[in-house]
Chain A
Amino acid sequence: GDSVTQMEGPVTLSEEAFLTINCTYTATGYPSLFWYVQYPGEGLQLLLKATKADDKGSNKGFEATYRKETTSFHLEKGSVQVSDSAVYFCALSGESGGSNYKLTFGKGTLLTVNP
């Protein structure tokens, strides 16, 4: 079945540092890929998405490129801020029969940014 593997962290960075959170996936066909962010005590918010190979999703300075050849969707940001501290989830929406109605999530990566 579909699966998502992301670096579990925790990741601790200083403000203005470069961020990379790795995400790789296993799926049949051509899934859509997502990054969600969860701030403390809140629900998940969609951060960005990509629906086909080579698409780049971007939002709030974050970027991720859908790489089918490496089955990856790594999240990057050039200069993190304290307000970016949160848990980040990689997810895919597959097209195989068992996955048509749900997203498959990675386990989440806790990011802490220190001033």
Chain B
Amino acid sequence: SQTIHQWPATLVQPVGSPLSLECTVEGTSNPNLYWYRQAAGRGLQLLFYSVGIGQISSEVPQNLSASRPQDRQFILSSKKLLLSDSGFYLCAWSVRLRGELFFGEGSRLTVL
């Protein structure tokens, strides 16, 4: 069966420090991969999606970047964190372009 792993689960970082969140999917090939952010409150904002290795689409201009170095690995990064980057980050994958998404457990980032 397919599984998705996301880490770290929680981190606290100072303003201006770098960030790296990792996500891997197991049990499937060539998944579509996504990064969402859930800020205080509950709404979900799509940050990036990828349909293949090295193919990244950004939904909103921001302080973050994403990379897909391997088929089932998706990384969210920042060179210098801002206070506004705090939130709950969710990685997700899908098999088909219109199929349902399967989410990881999330990473809670607090920038101080």
Count residues of A near B (Cβ-Cβ below 8 Å).
24
Is chain A's binding surface mostly helix, strand, loop or mixed? Answer: strand
Please report which residues of chain B, range 72-112, place their CB below 8 angstroms from some CB of chain A when the two chains form the complex: 90, 92, 97-106
Residues B104 and A49 in contact, CB atoms below 8 Å apart: no
Chain B interface size, as a band, is: 20 to 34
Q: In this complex, which of A93, A102, A105 has the most chain B Cβ atoms within 10 angstroms of its Cβ?
A: A102
Q: Indicate with 1 or 0, residue by residue over A58-102, a CB within 8 angstroms of chain B CB atoms.
A: 000000000000000000000000000001010001110000111
Residues B49 and A102 in contact, CB atoms below 8 Å apart: yes
Residues A100 and B97 in contact, CB atoms below 8 Å apart: yes
A-side contacts of B49, CB under 8 Å: 101-102
Residues A101 and B106 in contact, CB atoms below 8 Å apart: no
B46 near A: Cβ within 8 Å?
A: yes
A-side contacts of B46, CB under 8 Å: 102-103
A-side contacts of B32, CB under 8 Å: 101
Q: Which 9 pairs, one residue from A and one from B, show the smallest C-beta to C-beta distance?
A: A108-B42, A43-B103, A44-B103, A105-B44, A93-B98, A107-B43, A43-B106, A43-B105, A100-B97
B residues contacting A by CB (< 8 A) are: 6, 32, 34, 41-44, 46, 49, 51, 57, 59, 90, 92, 97-106
